[in-house]
Amino acid sequence: MKFIGYIFSIAFLRVLSILPMFIIYFFSDLLYLILYYLVGYRRKVVIKNLALSFPEYSKKEVMHTTRKFYRHLADIILESAVSLYFSRRRLEKMIQYTNPEMIDKYVAQGRSIIINTSHYNNWELSVTLSYTVQHQLIALYKPLKNKYFDKAIQKARRRFGARTVPMKQISKELINCKNKGELTVTGIACDQRPIKQRVQHWTKLLGQNTPVFLGTEKLAKKFDIVVMYMKMRKVKRGLYLAEFELITDQPKETQQYEITEKQISILEQLIREEPAHWLWSHDLWKYPSAPLRDR
């Protein structure tokens, strides 16, 4: 059944990907109605997270933001799915990098870079960085349970020039790259939820105690890698602007948790700019809150 579902899904997406964007967004509007009204996909989680993160919001404001989120979520799902089959020209119309010279500066210095992203706006479009930078782009991913979809998505990402690497293997991959003298740009989502038993650090995000990964900080210090944050903003449907902000180019000189706290601070700034554009259904606060003893 998984294979049959995969065949029908891929066929539908391939047909959809050759159609004009206004038709794709028509299907997105239908998906919104299904997600929000018919299925109610994680609606209680989204409402709870918004209410806790913005206590100043009235119930009406929470529900308004919730509906905006589901409209945006439907767009992201359709955009991400069909863009796997878009041409380079069509992809470049969807995302513009406002200050690529920041990356060029460190590329010219022969430095590898980690670019922090988050589940804010269409993070999948960040694979187009392979068109912008000379270094090898490494995209971390978590393998999907459906092996057919997993294989298809990894194949589609690799056609952009990115090298897909499972999260658990990134340290080994960077060691291999260093031994070969290969410079890299690695994209890491900084708002992933760690496995409960492996939480090493809690911080504050939107007023809530939040478990975070220390992966970026550990890799940056171990391999002396420049750390940036890619702030993606949605201009309109189908058009995003990405701006790079330097976190540090001297990671070994930073204090413990300094890099992690800075990236979370930037994430919160983005969320407050447009709350509906973050992935509230991700449920980052699933675990019971813990005291911030390590800060």
137-152 pLDDT, tens digit each: 998 877 666 676 566 6
pTM of the predicted model as reported, rounded to 2 decimal places: 0.90
How buried is 63 (Cβ within 10 angstroms: 0-12 exposed, 13-18 middle, 19+ buried)? middle
Beta strands 184-189; 208-212: pairing state: unpaired
For 137, the token pair is 């782009």
| DSSP for residue 121 | S
17 band by pLDDT with thresholds 50, 70 and 90: confident
Query: Average pLDDT for residues 169-177, to the nearest whole number?
Result: 92
Is 45 within 8 Å of 281 (Cβ atoms)? Answer: yes
Q: Look at residue 156 in the predicted model and tell me its pLDDT.
A: 67
Is 36 within 8 Å of 43 (Cβ atoms)? Answer: yes
Alpha-helical runs (H) found in 235-280: 258-273
Q: Look at residue 239 in the predicted model and tell me its pLDDT.
A: 96
Q: How far apart are CA 118 and CA 130, in angstroms?
A: 18
> What is the amino acid identity at position 77?
I
Q: Look at residue 5 in the predicted model and tell me its pLDDT.
A: 58
Q: How far apart are CA 55 and CA 51, in angstroms?
A: 6
| Domains of the chain, residue spans | 2-282
Q: C-alpha angle 232/234/20, rounded to 5°?
A: 120
Report the C-alpha dihedral over residues 212, 213, 216, 222, rounded to 10 degrees.
130
Q: How far apart are CA 167 and CA 188, in angstroms?
A: 9
45 band by pLDDT with thresholds 50, 70 and 90: very high
Task: Find residue 101's DSSP bridge partners.
Answer: none
Q: For the chain, percent helix, then strand, then coil, each to nearest 5?
A: 55, 20, 30
Task: Find residue 186's DSSP bridge partners.
Answer: 114, 138
At residue 295, does pLDDT exceed 50?
A: no
CA atoms within 13 A on the CB side of 127: 25
In angstroms, the first-to-last Cα distance of the chain is: 49
pLDDT, tens digit (0-9, with 9 covering 90-100), for 221-278: 999 999 999 999 999 999 999 999 999 999 999 999 999 999 999 999 999 999 999 9
Buried b (16+ CB within 10 A) or exposed e, 174-198: beebbeeeebbbbbbbbbbbeeeee
Is 240 within 8 Å of 76 (Cβ atoms)? Answer: no
Q: Look at residue 141 in the predicted model and tell me its pLDDT.
A: 75
The helix (H) or strand (E) run that includes residue 137 is strand 136-141
When the pLDDT of each residue in the chain is averaged and rounded to a whole number, the result is: 89
Task: Find residue 232's DSSP bridge partners.
Answer: 242
pLDDT, tens digit (0-9, with 9 covering 90-100), for 93-106: 999 999 999 999 99
Query: Average pLDDT for residues 204-217, to the nearest whole number?
Result: 94
Helix (H, G, I), strand (E, B) or coil at 260: helix
Helix (H, G, I), strand (E, B) or coil at 6: helix
